[in-house]
Amino acid sequence: MLASPLYMLQVYDRVLTSGSVATLQGLFLLLILLYAFLGVFDFLRSRILGRAAHRLDAALGEPAFGRWLQLPEAGIRAQSGGKDGDFGQAQGLRDVETLRSFLASPALLGLMDLPWIPLYLTVLTLVHPLLGLLTLVGATVAIAAALLNQQLVGRGLDRAGKLEMEERGMIDQSRRHSELIAAHGMQARMVFQWSRLHDARLAMAQGAAERSEGVGAFSKTFRMFLQSAMLTLAAWLVLRAELSPGMIIASSVISGRALAPIDQVIGQWRMLGRARQAHARASKIFGRSAGIDTVDLPSPTGRIRLENVTRLAGAGGGARLLDRVSFELEPGDGLGVIGPSAAGKSVLARVLVGIWRPEAGDIRFDGATPDQWDPEVLGRHIGYLPQHAELLPGSIRDNIARFDPLARDVQVFEAARIAGVHEMILALPQGYATAAIGCPLSGGQVQRLGLARALFGNPPIVVLDEPNANLDHAGDEALRHAILAMRARGSTVIVMAHRPSAILSVNKVLVLKEGRMKQFGPRDEVLGPSAPGQFLQPDALRAAAFEPKRGMQPARTASSPSMDAPAASSGADLSSSSLLRLQAILRAASGDAVDAPCQKGALE
């Protein structure tokens, strides 16, 4: 980098004064050699940074995506406006891509050239102290401009980045629910909402860019002025016989070299801001994913114990979604969780499968907390059907097999048969090889395929959240038989339900209201003893839903025949009176008005 000014100095002070052609030729050959080294080292630096960027992507791409998938709570909190909204909206792979681009960008080259500024200042000071002092003043002004640029632009870039991620999220969600938007005629309104968000992001980014452009223009102009000032000062020193004429041009070039990295950094300030934000988000992903060391524990058998489990609405507090819930299940048990809307059923399902972590209390599988297992290992022993089942890009077989490359076809067929979807899959255009995305599947079919995925591998713990929400009578029957089959194999099955048919195959019932456990015990004991032709009045129905009491006897009618044989608590079928009571509880729990007594014949 000093070859050019030193060459100018020698030409003006030696060649022109001596008239030696040989000296000029020797200096020129030396200059060629130095420029060759400069080109090679610039090439190596660019090649090393490019390879480093590729290595960064290869090293962090898969871990960033995997650890992002392990932190679903962040996205949920972001959607609810939680404290960690910026982290929840982070896109791990995009952040890695931003860092990769930064490593190969001129911004990093400018940062790498900053440490050489003191060398240029030292050379100028050796030439003459006044030249070094003037360049130092110029560098100070340029650095002050860079710091001012950070103050003016930093917050704007942060806000623009958050708005950009919100806009991407809205685009993804709108595309995902395009059918709903089209059916309700919401296109114009959604376009208007997107336009507002898009315009706000552009305005914020443009405001930050304009402030950065102003500082950048000042810095560039000041550097050009400083070069002229250096020429003037050097000429004055030559007139005073304190410098040789060759120093005029050389000192101007060296001062320009000293200030160029600062100008380059200011010009790439937006890239620096994006890289800083991406680095902060990636650090959160890797920092928050650290957990305790795991050991190879034996596979869980299905024994579950909850001790005062409490889950809050937000990371910093809020309403209690679950409030000190405690119960215990043994392998082969079937638990039906009932209650009104927003009672905490889905929250309990997410906590059980590890999507959410409780703020207080313990969840133990065979006596060990879930974090004592490796998440990948524990996940293979859990079957989960969410309330809104969806399929992932891939074939039907891939979705049922949970994309396990080692899964055997016989395991996939077995899960499909237990879920009652084997014949349905064979009727698809390409059977199990049919692409899950793009195939016109009904909501019930998707839910039953999700059930097959949950049952794949005979997991000892199965959690089904509203598994029959989209099922017809045949689907209900298949679900009932699937629950009985899994229990017969020793699996513990937990069903969150509003419809009575989902409770037919369980032996225990948990009643939730506002996150609190109102009652837990054997199914017929919680739902009431057998009684012929019972009638439940509306007030009694609501009381049964929200405050069920052990041994509660609904009113009899004179016309009701006597049926005193109680149903077995672990059987597959409810007694008629228990079915009546369950129907009444679930209707009252869901808020449906009950205007007349339910008669047994009408219910059937």
Residue at a domain's end among 233, 258, 287: 287
* CA neighbours closer than 13 Å in the CB half-sphere of residue 109: 18
Burial category of 139 from C-beta neighbours within 10 Å (exposed 0-12, middle 13-18, buried 19 and up): buried
Q: Which residues contact 171 (CB under 8 A, 6 or more apart)?
A: 194
pLDDT one-digit tens code per residue, 232-287: 898 899 888 888 888 888 888 888 888 888 777 777 777 887 788 788 877 776 76
Residues 308 and 389 reside in one and the same domain: yes
Q: Are 418 and 486 in contact (CB under 8 A)?
A: yes
Q: Are 135 and 258 in contact (CB under 8 A)?
A: yes
Q: What is the dihedral of CA 403, 404, 408, 413, to 10 degrees?
A: -40
Residue with tokens 């101007």: 252
Q: Are 257 and 1 in contact (CB under 8 A)?
A: yes
Which residue range(s) make up the domain with 417? 304-513
CATH number, domain with residue 418: 3.40.50.300
Residues 245 and 193 reside in one and the same domain: yes
Residue at a domain's end among 513, 548, 573: 513
Residues 445 and 509 reside in one and the same domain: yes
In this structure, is residue 266 part of a structural domain?
Answer: yes
Q: Are 154 and 143 in contact (CB under 8 A)?
A: no
- With b for 16 or more beta-carbon neighbours within 10 A and e for fewer, the 100-134 pattern comes to bbbbbbebbbbeebeeebeebbebbeebbebbbeb
Residue with tokens 């225990």: 508
Task: Give the closest residue to 312 by CA, choosing from 82, 545, 519, 68.
Answer: 82
In this structure, is residue 506 part of a structural domain?
Answer: yes
pLDDT of residue 529: 52
Q: How many residues does the chain have?
A: 604
Tokens encoding 11: 């030409």
What is the SS3 string spanning 53-70? HHHHHHHHHHHHHHHHHC
Residues 183 and 318 reside in one and the same domain: no
pLDDT of residue 539: 35
Domain count of the fold of the chain: 3
Residues 492 and 532 reside in one and the same domain: no
Q: Which residues of the chain have pLDDT under 50?
A: 73-90, 289, 530-574, 590-604
Residues 244 and 104 reside in one and the same domain: yes
Rounded-to-integer distance, Cα 143 and Cα 120, Å: 16
Cα separations in angstroms, 72 against 68, 196, 419, 447, 450? 7, 28, 27, 21, 19
| SS3 of residue 313 by DSSP | strand
Residues 317 and 279 reside in one and the same domain: no
Task: Give the closest residue to 319 by CA, choosing from 516, 503, 155.
Answer: 516
pLDDT one-digit tens code per residue, 368-383: 888 888 888 888 899 9
Q: Tell me which amino acid residue 375 is.
A: P
Residues 279 and 319 reside in one and the same domain: no
Q: Are 347 and 515 in contact (CB under 8 A)?
A: yes
Give the H/E segment covering residue 140.
helix 129-176
Q: Are 77 and 314 in contact (CB under 8 A)?
A: yes
Residue with tokens 């392998």: 331
Q: Tell me which amino acid residue 188 is.
A: A
Q: Are 285 and 90 in contact (CB under 8 A)?
A: yes
Q: Which long-range contacts (CB under 8 A, 24 or more apart) does 366-374 make?
A: 366/297, 366/298, 366/300, 366/301, 366/303, 367/303, 367/305, 368/297, 368/300, 371/291, 371/292, 371/294, 372/292, 372/294, 372/295, 372/297, 373/294, 373/297, 374/294
461-465 and 516-522 as β-strands: parallel, antiparallel, unpaired?
unpaired
Q: Are 250 and 188 in contact (CB under 8 A)?
A: no
Rounded-to-integer distance, Cα 336 and Cα 500, Å: 10
Q: What is the largest CA-CA distance in the chain?
A: 133
Residue 464 backbone dihedrals phi, psi, to 5 degrees: -120, 115
Cα separations in angstroms, 542 against 81, 442, 586, 597? 34, 34, 9, 13
317-329 and 304-314 as β-strands: parallel, antiparallel, unpaired?
antiparallel
In this structure, is residue 465 part of a structural domain?
Answer: yes
Residue at a domain's end among 453, 485, 513: 513
Q: Tell me which amino acid residue 355 is.
A: I
Q: Around Cβ 564, how many Cβ atoms within 10 Å?
A: 8
CA 127 to chain centre: 58
- List strands edge to edge, sheet with 492-496: 360-365, 304-314, 317-329, 516-522, 508-513, 334-338, 492-496, 461-465, 382-385
Tokens encoding 476: 């209900």
In this structure, is residue 597 part of a structural domain?
Answer: yes
Q: Are 242 and 91 in contact (CB under 8 A)?
A: no
Residues 346 and 248 reside in one and the same domain: no
Q: Which residues contact 420 (CB under 8 A, 6 or more apart)?
A: 448, 474, 475, 477, 478, 479, 481, 482
In this structure, is residue 263 part of a structural domain?
Answer: yes
Rounded-to-integer distance, Cα 550 and Cα 129, Å: 96
Residues 354 and 460 reside in one and the same domain: yes
In this structure, is residue 518 part of a structural domain?
Answer: no
In this structure, is residue 294 part of a structural domain?
Answer: no
Residue with tokens 């972001």: 78
Q: Around Cβ 213, how many Cβ atoms within 10 Å?
A: 15
In this structure, is residue 520 part of a structural domain?
Answer: no
DSSP state, residue 494: E
Residues 411 and 482 reside in one and the same domain: yes
Residues 103 and 141 reside in one and the same domain: yes
Q: Are 579 and 603 in contact (CB under 8 A)?
A: yes
CATH number, domain with residue 186: 1.20.1560.10
